[in-house]
Amino acid sequence: MARAKIALIGAGMIGGTLAHIAAREELGDVVLFDIFEGTAKGKALDLAEAAPVFGKDCNLKGTSDYADIAGADVVIITAGFPRKPGMDRSELIGKNLGVIKQVAEGVKEHAPKAFVICITNPLDAMVWAFQKFSGLQPRKVVGMAGVLDSARFRHFLADEFKCSVEDVHASVLGGHGDTMVPLVRYSTVAGVPLPDLIKMKWTTQERIDAIVDRTRNGGGEIVGLLGNGSAFYAPAESAIEMATAYLRDKKRILPCAVRLSGQIAGVRGLYVGAPAMIGARGVEKVMNIRLKADEREMFMKSVAAVEKIIADCQEMEPSLK
């Protein structure tokens, strides 16, 4: 059987890391696309020269010609600009909406059957705009944010309980931003929900509240530390987990930005983070979890934040109305 083809649009920090992981995992052949052809070609060649050392077979190509992504099975989009310290993700719309429009045209023409994972920020609005611009089926277009946000939550919880990250499961809903909703009662250590761990005196409500807050601001914490750019290792690992679920038809249930059609709090037509089953058909199911009143209130606040960014996009680009 032919190898899968993975097109990475954007060969910056996340794009380069994605290429590295995809090659090491032998997920498929990799095409790195960037407006800066030299960056794409240089990273592809550097990785191709590393492959004999790590002993994996994978063709790597750098390009700035969309024709080279023809027939890609998976497309992962990181093209655009990251945040600078002190910046909110929504401030990136001006630069990144035009980039997403170009990418959508390229993908629609050359890889319309691909499973597309968008990472470019502001995430929920950019993946929504990509789907609108490209007209690809919504079940084949998702955004990566929830896997990353819940990985941050898991890391902080494992650190709190001094236990293995493998035993911590965490759930995050809503838009990718400071209004995201880490779901405490659905987050567990070895199957035991956090509220029970508080009762067992393994931790306190105050400490969990602080962890939730740190999770919400996890992206900004890294932006502040790096001083120039945003997180890239954890975002790349997270997108690879989603791509693997699709390519290997794993039916993983992962928190992804998906286009809702009423499954959660009756929200329709918007891309927002929700637990979704990813398999060979793309998004195969969205879990229709019932929210308690306070969770619903937080979720709707997050939805309103996404709607506001979408309204700004529509103002800038009337074809999105």
Interface contacts to ligand A3D, rule CB under 6 A: 9-15, 34-36, 39, 78-83, 92, 96, 99, 102, 119-121, 123, 144-145, 148, 176, 229-232, 235
Choose between 189 and 260: whose C-beta lies nearer to ligand A3D: 260
* DSSP symbols for 259-300: EEESTTTT-EEEEEEEEEEEETTEEEEE--PPPPHHHHHHHH
Shortest approach of ligand A3D to residue 258 CB, angstroms? Answer: 14
Q: Please give the residue whose beta carbon sits closest to ligand A3D in the complex.
A: 12
Task: Specify the DSSP element, H or E, that contains 62.
Answer: strand 60-63
Choose between 10 and 28: whose C-beta lies nearer to ligand A3D: 10
Pick from 200, 178, 196, 175: nearest CA to 187: 196
Cα angle for residues 315, 318, 321 (degrees, 5° grid): 95
Residues 20, 110, 155, 176: which is the catalytic one?
A: 176
Whether residue 138 is preceded by a cis peptide bond, meaning omega within 30 degrees of 0, is no
Choose between 106 and 197: whose C-beta lies nearer to ligand A3D: 106
Choose between 189 and 275: whose C-beta lies nearer to ligand A3D: 275
Contact 238, 151 (CB under 8 A): yes
Contact 126, 96 (CB under 8 A): yes
Choose between 148 and 267: whose C-beta lies nearer to ligand A3D: 148
Shortest approach of ligand A3D to residue 182 CB, angstroms? Answer: 14
* Helix runs in 25-92, H state only: 37-54
Task: Specify the DSSP element, H or E, that contains 254.
Answer: strand 252-261
- Residue 178, amino acid: D
Q: How far apart are CA 176 and CA 309, in angstroms?
A: 12
Is residue 176 part of the annotated active site? The answer reads yes
Shortest approach of ligand A3D to residue 75 CB, angstroms? Answer: 12
Q: Six-digit token pair at 285?
A: 């199911």
Shortest approach of ligand A3D to residue 92 CB, angstroms? Answer: 6
Choose between 39 and 171: whose C-beta lies nearer to ligand A3D: 39
Give percent helix, percent strand, percent coil of the chain, each to the nearest 5: 50, 20, 30
- Residues with a catalytic annotation lie at 176
